[in-house]
Each structure stands twice: as C-alpha cells, then as structure tokens.
Amino acid sequence: MSDSGKEEMEEEARRGRRGRRHGRGRRCGPEERDTTRVQLELPPQAMERLQQLKEKTEAASYAEVIRNALRLYEALIQEAERGAEFQVKEPDGTSVPYRIFL
C-alpha cells in the first residue's frame, strides 16, 4: 500500500472515532445521537479486569463488555427481586449456594 493510501486510511479511522455516523450514514450532532457517551475513570486493577473480560469474551470493545455486564446485572437483580436464589454447580456435580448480593 502506498504511503498516501495508508495516510488516507489513518485519517478515515481518526474521523470515524470523532464523528461517528448514526442512522442512514449521515453525521449527527450530539443532540441527535441514539447513544450517550460516558467517560470512566478506573483504577489500574479495574482496567486490567475490563481488559481480561474483553479478551475472554472476545468482545469487540470495552463498551460491548460493559453492555453485556449491565444486561447480566439487571437480569440477576430482577431474579433476586422475585425471590430467586442462585447456585453454582461444581465440577463434581454438587450445587452450592452463591450469594451475589450481600
């Protein structure tokens, strides 16, 4: 690939990160977005955990990991509110109670 082609791809990647397209390929201002940008500050250990989860789940992005975690957390809370109890099945087949919410 020529240097100019490489530079074009890099420029497109930079533009893509700054002004994502929403809807039918048109650029949207902040007031028209379907999503909300959230910035997190994480201590190094939490960031390492997030990176490990991204790798283990083969998620495409940190946002995907967080969306999946929120869905799971919400489902667990709904089940707990219904009175459900959680158990973990050990490799030997025994089930043991698992306290998620202390």
Based on the domain organization, do 54 and 29 belong to the same domain? no
Same structural domain for residues 25 and 61?
no
Do 26 and 59 lie in one domain? The reply is: no
User: What is the number of structural domains in the chain?
Assistant: 2
Residue 62 sits in the same domain as residue 84: yes
Q: Given this model, what pLDDT does residue 102 score?
A: 74
Query: Does one domain contain both 99 and 86?
Result: yes
Let me know whether 50 and 72 are in one domain.
yes
Domain assignment of residue 14, given as a range = 1-37
My answer on whether 46 and 83 are in the same domain is yes
pLDDT tens digits, 56-71: 999 999 999 999 999 9
Distance (Å, whole) CA 18 – CA 27: 11
pTM: 0.63
Q: Same domain for 32 and 49?
A: no
* Whole-number Å distance between alpha carbons of 9 and 6: 5
| Model pLDDT, residue 24 | 46
Low-confidence ranges of the chain (pLDDT < 50): 2, 4, 17-25
